[in-house]
Amino acid sequence: MTTAVLNWGTLMMTYFSALTDPDMAFLRYALFAGLLAAPAFGIIGTYVVAKRMTYLAGAIAHCVLGGIGAALYCQFHYGLAWLTPMLGAIIAAIGAALLIGLVSLRSRDRVDSVIGAIWVLGMAAGIIFIAKTPGYIDPMSYLFGNILMITGRDLLTIALLDVIVIGLGLLSYNRMLAVCFDEEFARLRGIRTELYTLLLLCLTALTIVLMVRVVGIVMVIALFTLPAATASHFSSRIWQMMLLATLLGLISVTGGLALSYGLDLPSGPAIVMLAGFFYLAVIVGKGLKSRLS
Amino acid sequence: MKTTEPTLSSVVPAIQCEQVSFSYGELPILTDVSFTIQKLDAVALVGPNGGGKSTLLKLILGLLTPQTGTIKVLGLPPQQGRQKIGYMPQHLQYDPSFPVSVMDVVLMGRAGSSGLGRYSAEDRRVSMQSMEELSVADLASRSFNSLSGGQRQRILIARALACGPEILLLDEPTANVDPAAHLQLFEILKQLTNRVTVLTVSHDLGFVSQVVNRVFCVNRQVKVHPTSELTGEVIREMYGGDVRMVRHDHCCSELGHSHDDIL
């Protein structure tokens, strides 16, 4: 037990010293990206969990690969240097959010099949685009994250998206709360619920883009659901859930990157594992508590 | 100079249905339904499950559109008139662990009234007042998911009242409520019928017949009965026979009442 504590201590120490190392800029960038993204994930993740839209968020995340692939393809074949993978990801995410939103609002039946199709087609398109783009591009780094790819410019984009997401997420708090709690009643009160659903999906899309570099397309959804679901066990108000989810996100990102650096683990999985550990610990703890009492 | 003629608003009925028919695909739910509910009338909708009660409510709320016929709410199409309807749904399609305070739930009755969705001091005052009217003001800071069925029911009626409605639409206000809370709800509803038009769905005829003036029997068609005519015979016909019932102290006419053309 003591050795474990000691190891954890040295691990954090070497991690923090590495953060100040000028040769380790990527580590700082990854941490900044994670810290910037945590509040957005806390706020939007809470709405997504409360409105039970995790499946829709998953579909949006996977469509992002289509946008990244298309951007890489166009950059190479048409010389569109401005069409960065980040921009491609943003366009694809917003496009997928609107498409999925309209399908789930308008389609009468088999909504889950249609969304499943969008999920897979978006991803397949991305793989095909990447395969048809010469040069060494590893789809794995987009699927599971690669902090070595984060640039200072990405960080700036992340900060900008972050401001938009947090601003809109908090400004629409009361309306969003009404729509998440009882959509039919909200509509009867004259709230344009479809508009708010689409807004929430678009904010979800932008939040996904924030962390795609760090944890990748496949696992980004975990950062939506795990902190918010863990927080829901200790919250009696939505804003408490947001605050707690943000805090859990911050801890998961910092701790996960430290683990990844100290133990030489891939960073995305390390972050997600830590977030998952908190969630399972709370579930098991609650279960034990209710059995004992 | 004051005029003795009734003003326009006083003659406009609260709810008016004219030859309304609605079907889901091939399945007819309501056929040729016509009725008028005047302001301050108190009406109960009764009838078997699947008879069309919920559909009728959704039509009045403008959530569904009839294939034929017209519905007017306070003289307006439902989508406009519903601003003046306070609605209490039967099934909240919400996550039972949804973390929200009672005050926040009641404030949702005021949502949509302001531009950016911020609640004003007036919104809070009105919400508090409707909670006081339902004697649940002391629950304001509690979590909604920690309340009993009867308390939640009253909070949802308070939310409907917070809309500042001229018409209250209540879907099964006595569902999931224990007998003691039943009596309380009964008193509250009786009070409310003095100042708003009440339209309530209920399975509990004994309950509603003491609160409302008229009972609408909804079973593909709508039959109107003054409460004074409610007899066992009528009720059996409404529900298609085989109903066990306990008679409360409502009055029944001696001759009963028959529908010739229902079903």
**Which tens digit of pLDDT belongs to each residue from A135-145?**
777 888 888 88
A186 closest CB neighbour out of B83, B101, B108 = B108
Q: What is the mean pLDDT of residues B20-49?
A: 88
Does an H or E element contain B167, and which?
Answer: strand B167-171
Tokens of A102: 């309209």
Q: What is the pLDDT averaged over residues A273-280?
A: 96
**In terms of residues, how long is chain B?**
263
Q: What Rg do the C-alpha atoms of chain A give, in angstroms? A: 20
ipTM, interface predicted TM-score of the complex: 0.82
What's the predicted TM-score (pTM) here?
A: 0.85
Q: What is the DSSP string of A4-51?
A: HHHHHHHHHHHHHHHHH-GGGHHHHHHHHHHHHHHHHHHHHHHHHHHT
Give the A:B interface size as CB pairs under 8 Å: 76
Structure tokens at A207: 């939040």
Of A181, A185, A187, the CB nearest to B100: A181
> Which positions in chain B touch A173 (Cβ < 8 Å)?
117
Summarised one tens digit per residue, pLDDT across range A20-51 is 887 778 888 889 999 999 999 999 999 999 88
pLDDT at B256 over 90: no
**pLDDT surpassing 80 at residue B4:** no
User: Which residues on chain A place their C-beta less than 8 Å from a C-beta of chain B?
Assistant: 50, 52, 171-175, 177-178, 180-191, 232, 235-238, 240-241
CB contact under 8 A, A178 and B111: yes
For the cut 60, the answer to whether the pLDDT of residue B263 exceeds it is: no
CA distance B54 to chain A (A): 14
pLDDT at B95: 66
| pLDDT given at position B251 | 34
Residues B89, A181: C-beta atoms closer than 8 Å:
no
State residue B185's pLDDT score.
80
Average pLDDT over residues B82-89: 91
Question: Is pLDDT above 70 for A240?
Answer: yes
Q: How far is B155 from chain A (nearest CA, A)?
A: 14
Whether the CA torsion B27, B32, B37, B42 is positive or negative: it is: negative
Q: Do B99 and A235 touch (CB under 8 A)?
A: yes
* Chain A residues near residue B94 by CB distance under 8 angstroms: 181-182
Per the CB < 8 A criterion, the answer to whether A72 and A129 are in contact is: yes
Looking at residue A129, its pLDDT comes to: 93
Is residue B260 predicted with pLDDT exceeding 50? no
pLDDT digits (tens, 9 = 90+) for A147-174: 877 888 888 988 998 999 999 998 999 9
Find the residue in A nearest to B143 (Cα).
Answer: A236
- 3-state SS class at B15: strand
Length of chain A: 293
Contact A50 B108 (CB under 8 A): no
- Contact indicator for B214, B225 with CB cutoff of 8 Å: yes
- Comparing alpha-carbon positions, the chain B residue that sits nearest to A168 is B116
Q: What is the pLDDT of residue A106?
A: 84
Examine the pLDDT at B257 and tell me if it is beyond 50.
no
Most confident of A102-111, A155-164, B183-192: A155-164
In terms of pLDDT, which residue wins out, A69 or B242?
A69
Q: Considering chain B, what percentage of its residues have pLDDT values greater than 90?
A: 32
Q: Which is more confidently placed, A215 or B207?
A: A215
Q: Cβ distance A92 to A64 under 8 Å?
A: yes
Q: How would residue B92 be classed by pLDDT, with cut points 50, 70 and 90?
A: low
* pLDDT of B241 strictly over 80: no
- Give A215 or B117, the one with higher predicted confidence: A215
List chain B residues with CB under 8 Å of A50. 95, 98
CA–CA separation, B117 vs B106, rounded Å?
A: 14
Considering all CA atoms of chain A, what is the largest pairwise distance in Å, rounded to the nearest integer?
67
- Of residues B226 and A123, more confidence is placed in A123
For range A181-188, the mean pLDDT = 90
pLDDT at B94: 63
Cross-chain residue pair A189–B113, CB shorter than 8 Å? yes
pLDDT at A286 over 50: yes
Confidence at B245, pLDDT banded by 50, 70, 90:
very low
pLDDT band at B209 (very low <50, low <70, confident <90, very high): confident
Report CB contact under 8 Å: B111, A189: yes
Cross-chain Cβ contact A178/B99 below 8 Å: no
Task: Please state, rounded to an integer, the average pLDDT across all residues of chain A.
Answer: 89
Integer Cα distance of A254 and A258 in angstroms: 6
pLDDT at B253: 36
* Six-digit token string for A2: 């003591």
Minimal Cβ distance to A185: which of B108, B113, B118: B108
Give me the residue from A52, A191, A232 closest to B111, CB to CB: A191
Average pLDDT over residues A217-231: 92
Contact B29, B23 (CB under 8 A): yes
> Cβ contacts (< 8 Å) between A181 and chain B: which residues?
94, 98, 100, 105, 108
CB B159 within 8 A of CB B104: no
CB under 8 Å to B140, separation ≥6 — which residues?
A: B101, B102, B103, B106, B128, B131
Percent of chain A residues topping a pLDDT of 70 = 98
